[in-house]
Amino acid sequence: MGDVMDTATLVRSGSSHAVDVVGDCIKRIRSRDGAVNAIVDFDEERALADASRMDHKRDNGQPLGKLAGVPIVVKDNICTKFMRTTCGSGMLESYVSQFNAFVIDRLMDADAVIVGKANLDEFAMGSSTEFSTHGGTRNPWDQQRVAGGSSGGPAVAVASRMVPASLGSDTGGSIRQPASFCGVVGLKPSYGRVSRYGLVAYGSSLDQIGPFTTSVEDAALMLEVITGHDDRDSTSIKEEVPAYSTLLDQTLDGRRVGVCEACFAEGLSDDVRQSVEAAIEKMREAGCEIVSVELPHMKYAIASYYIIAMAEASSNLARYDGVHYGYRTPQPGDLADMYASSRGEGFGMEVKRRIMMGTYVLSSGYYDAYYLRALKVRRLIKEDFDSAFQRCDVITLPVAPTTAFTVGEKVEDPLAMYLSDMYTVFANLAGLCAISLPCGFDAAGLPIGWQLMGPPLSDQKMLSIAYQYQQMTSYHLQTPAIATD
């Protein structure tokens, strides 16, 4: 069993008290977060009160939910009524939502205890969690390295064992890449599987909420809790929710794992290549059939993704105008100055870059040349995967071309930063499910993640394959020194 399952089982049985579990979590946050800056807001009093209510329910004979007493942090772009939702931006520095996100209500209904909000790149735009008004988040394995992004805070909170699980959002790899850099499991569900209601939008056709955990079985349980149809999200799928956590222990015999050789070309570090190839070989030895697949349009994926994502960001962030809510410049000269100054002062460098590029590709004269062409390429990429999945159950890829890079290394080189997502954007463009799980360490002792992608709504099958790999390895059990203080 995983940390989430163990905790919930002990609390439900009365072997542990939720107040003690949450109290220990708060102590770990206080002792460890100063070195990594993963948590941007947490409410100790409220968390302990919620935990006390759990214990009271159990002591009075009332059944507790699947996540009974489990402390969880959520990325700070997921709306909560009881805590700020800043998106790591000066634009929303003091914003408190009037409603909870769908996933927040699901967690609370399952008796989880939400102890805080976790750091992120501003408005989820970045691959390193260095672009945040709260300051950068550091990698727990080496504080001179980045945590990955944009969900660096939730990944580090789990990797540092401050909490057993967290929620992030994934627009082009923002769960899987930090999971790889930090040595934890990161799951991006199929598009539409988890409601986006209450997730502050970046790229609406790409965004998806998913969990970070220390094990595949915990990721499956978290997905089980947060999945479900929601009428408030027009992209939410009306499909029965499988009991993911009880369907993991299935044989690998006859399973087909697709490998695209073009993904192991120039740009991939030797350490990452060797670890991923070793994972593939282990699956072969366990009974999987390894098949070669072609993804002919993969070389256009990064360009297509960033055009679409920036165009959608330009539209979604137009609402932050200094009028309705959020930051307003203190002394505007006139209406035009209020708009321009509020946005210029409230948004950070990377967000402004993406808004301007998105506005450019949507502008008259460039729409057909850039945005429309990117949509056509997206369609071709989806068709590539549809064809490939006729030959295999899952496709395996690296998560990132390297392990965690040093703090500041790519801040002034946007293209190099964007290329960190070269193996992850496929899943968002094609609406696939995908997972990153630990598969090794590089020569410097930094974690390496292995990625599996499955067809839309094949989350259960993908999780069972990932679980069988995890059963043959111990990489997910390794912890950074900060987690043993």
Taking the C-alpha atoms of residue 482 and residue 450, their distance in angstroms, rounded to an integer, is 23
Active site residues: 75, 150, 174
Closest C-alpha to 78, from 172, 210, 189, 223: 210
Mean pLDDT (whole number) for 183-209: 98
Q: How confident is the model at residue 163 (pLDDT cuts 50, 70, 90)?
A: very high
pTM tops 0.85, yes or no: yes
Q: What is the pLDDT of residues 301-315, one digit of tens each?
A: 999 999 999 999 999
> Which residue range(s) make up the domain with 128?
3-254+479-484
191 domain-assigned: yes
344 domain-assigned: no
Please state which of the ranges 48-57, 135-144, 218-227, 476-485 shows the lowest mean pLDDT: 476-485
162 domain-assigned: yes
Mean pLDDT (whole number) for 47-52: 98
In 43-160, beta strands by DSSP E: 71-75, 113-118, 138-139, 142-146
247: CATH:
3.90.1300.10
Q: What is the pLDDT of residues 429-440, one digit of tens each?
A: 999 999 999 999
46 domain-assigned: yes
Whether residue 2 is predicted with pLDDT greater than 80 in this model: the reply is no
Mean pLDDT (whole number) for 176-191: 98
102 domain-assigned: yes
Taking the C-alpha atoms of residue 312 and residue 354, their distance in angstroms, rounded to an integer, is 10
- Locate tokens 């948004």: which residue? 347
User: pLDDT value at position 485?
Assistant: 66
Q: How confident is the model at residue 318 (pLDDT cuts 50, 70, 90)?
A: very high
Collapsing DSSP states into helix, strand and coil, what is residue 332?
coil
User: pLDDT value at position 266?
Assistant: 78
Whether residue 184 is predicted with pLDDT greater than 80 in this model: the reply is yes
Collapsing DSSP states into helix, strand and coil, what is residue 72?
strand
Q: What is the pLDDT of residues 401-448, one digit of tens each?
A: 999 999 999 999 999 999 999 999 999 999 999 999 999 999 999 999
Q: How far is CA 43 from CA 22, 46, 71, 83, 152, in A?
A: 11, 6, 12, 8, 20
Alpha helices in 142-269 (DSSP H): 152-159, 176-182, 216-226
Collapsing DSSP states into helix, strand and coil, what is residue 54?
helix
User: pLDDT value at position 484?
Assistant: 81
User: pLDDT value at position 469?
Assistant: 97
Q: What is the pLDDT of residues 264-305, one digit of tens each?
A: 987 899 999 999 999 999 999 999 999 999 999 999 999 999
User: pLDDT value at position 267?
Assistant: 86
User: pLDDT value at position 265?
Assistant: 81
Whether residue 43 is predicted with pLDDT greater than 70 in this model: the reply is yes
Q: How far is CA 343 from CA 120, 336, 347, 389, 478, in A?
A: 19, 11, 6, 44, 44
Percent of the chain whose predicted confidence (pLDDT) is above 90: 97
Mean pLDDT (whole number) for 82-105: 97
Percent of the chain whose predicted confidence (pLDDT) is above 70: 99
Task: Give the HSE-up count for residue 351: Cα atoms under 13 Å, Cβ half-sphere.
Answer: 29
Terminal C-alpha separation, the chain:
23
Domain count within the chain: 1
205 domain-assigned: yes
Whether residue 140 is predicted with pLDDT greater than 60 in this model: the reply is yes
241 domain-assigned: yes
User: pLDDT value at position 143?
Assistant: 98
Mean pLDDT (whole number) for 237-257: 94
Q: What are phi and psi of 290, to 5 degrees?
A: -95, 120
427 domain-assigned: no
